[in-house]
């Protein structure tokens, strides 16, 4: 039976138990998403000594929109508290800090895969793949528990490819029950596309570029949205009920309204209300 009560608690960022790794390990460049340049391994100037963001409540106003749409899928607390046993990068030797920053992006990718596999197990249509999905989930979880040296050397791209085969099969099963012709939009360039009210039920939108597209009132029920770029996509009053492989970072990067219908796996971004 599909797991309808999948626990994603450990797959959501918990800043209380993280040493601000995303604010240190990751680089960013001055752009519409970030107000300044920052190199990998260098703390963001807004990061306080208690690992809190000094402008958290004003990130968008201060030009750090990119921070508001990021989620580590729980990798931050896993690396901080499990991989490195609660040892702060600020107080440990420099080589330990460098290793922590190297490992964080790897674990983040693994946790993203855990999110997808966990969701796949909740889909009734994926029941024939349940055994394989659980096996893959367990194998991925074991990888997240490797020692720092092993994580740093892990070929995470190869593992992602193995998992993706299962996720593709899951998508085909989940969309097979949608009536009518299912739209194939995998990797499509739909930047700025006018898709207001479009019927995209059961559509394959894996990796599609939907940047600034107008999907007002569109029907996206049971669509596969894995890897779709939803930056500035207008989802006002759109119906995403049953849409799968949609992540919180994707949704945070989009625009929407109180009338946008969402899957239970994600929450309505606070800024959707503030921007209207």
The residue assigned the tokens 């599609």 is 208
User: What is the 8-class DSSP label of residue 56?
Assistant: G
Nearest partner of 132 among 176, 178, 106, 168, judged by Cα: 168
Question: Do 220 and 150 fall within a single domain?
Answer: no
Question: Do 152 and 188 fall within a single domain?
Answer: no
User: What is the 8-class DSSP label of residue 20?
Assistant: -
Report whether 239 contacts 220 (CB < 8 A).
yes
Asked which of 175, 190, 219 is the last residue of a domain, the reply is 175
For the question of whether the overall pTM of this predicted structure is more than 0.85, the answer is yes
Residue-level pLDDT at 4: 46
Structural domain span for residue 260: 182-276
Residue 1 lies in a domain: no
Question: Do 142 and 162 fall within a single domain?
Answer: yes
Question: Do 37 and 150 fall within a single domain?
Answer: yes
The C-alpha atoms of residue 232 and residue 214 are separated, in whole angstroms, by 9
Asked which of 119, 143, 175 is the last residue of a domain, the reply is 175
Tokens at 104, concatenated: 């964080």
Residue 269 lies in a domain: yes
Residue-level pLDDT at 3: 52
Question: Do 45 and 171 fall within a single domain?
Answer: yes
Number of domains composing the chain: 2
Burial of 102 (0-12, 13-18, 19+ CB in 10 A): middle
Report whether 260 contacts 236 (CB < 8 A).
yes
Nearest partner of 217 among 230, 202, 200, 232, judged by Cα: 200
Residue-level pLDDT at 276: 46
The C-alpha atoms of residue 132 and residue 36 are separated, in whole angstroms, by 44
pLDDT in tens, the chain (276 residues): 445 446 788 999 999 999 999 999 999 999 989 999 999 999 999 999 999 999 998 998 999 999 988 999 999 999 999 999 999 999 988 999 999 999 999 999 999 999 999 999 999 999 999 999 999 999 999 999 999 999 999 999 999 999 999 999 999 999 998 876 568 899 999 999 999 999 999 999 999 999 999 999 999 999 999 999 999 999 999 999 999 999 999 999 999 999 999 999 899 998 887 554
Question: Do 190 and 170 fall within a single domain?
Answer: no
Question: Do 170 and 191 fall within a single domain?
Answer: no
Report whether 57 contacts 39 (CB < 8 A).
no
CB < 8 Å & 24+ apart, contacts of 98-101: 98/41, 99/148, 99/149, 99/152, 100/19, 100/21, 100/25, 100/148, 101/21, 101/24, 101/25, 101/40, 101/41
């Amino acid at each position: 039976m599909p797991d309808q009560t999948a626990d994603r608690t450990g797959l959501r960022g918990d800043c209380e138990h993280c040493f601000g790794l995303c604010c240190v390990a990751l680089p960013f460049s001055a752009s519409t998403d970030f107000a300044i340049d920052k190199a990998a391994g260098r703390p963001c100037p807004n990061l306080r000594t208690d690992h809190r963001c000094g402008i958290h409540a004003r990130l968008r106003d201060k030009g750090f929109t990119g921070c508001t749409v990021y989620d580590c899928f729980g990798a931050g607390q896993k690396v901080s508290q499990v991989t490195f046993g609660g040892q702060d990068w600020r107080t440990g030797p420099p080589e330990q800090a460098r290793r922590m920053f190297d490992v964080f992006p790897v674990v983040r990718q693994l946790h993203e895969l855990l999110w997808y596999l966990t969701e796949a197990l909740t889909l009734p249509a994926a029941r024939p793949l349940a055994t394989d999905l659980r096996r893959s989930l367990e194998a991925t979880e074991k990888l997240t528990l490797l020692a720092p040296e092993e994580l740093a050397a892990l070929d995470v791209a190869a593992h992602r490819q193995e998992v993706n085969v299962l996720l593709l099969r899951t998508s085909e099963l989940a969309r097979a029950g949608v009536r009518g012709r299912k739209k194939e939009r995998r990797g499509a360039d739909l930047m700025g596309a006018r898709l207001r009210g479009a019927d995209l039920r059961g559509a394959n939108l894996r990796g599609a570029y939907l940047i600034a597209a107008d999907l007002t009132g569109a029907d996206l029920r049971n669509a596969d949205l894995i890897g779709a770029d939803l930056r500035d996509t207008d989802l006002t009053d759109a119906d995403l009920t049953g849409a799968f492989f949609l992540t919180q970072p994707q949704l945070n990067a989009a625009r929407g309204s109180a009338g946008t219908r969402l899957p239970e796996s994600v929450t309505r971004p606070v800024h959707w209300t503030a921007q209207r």
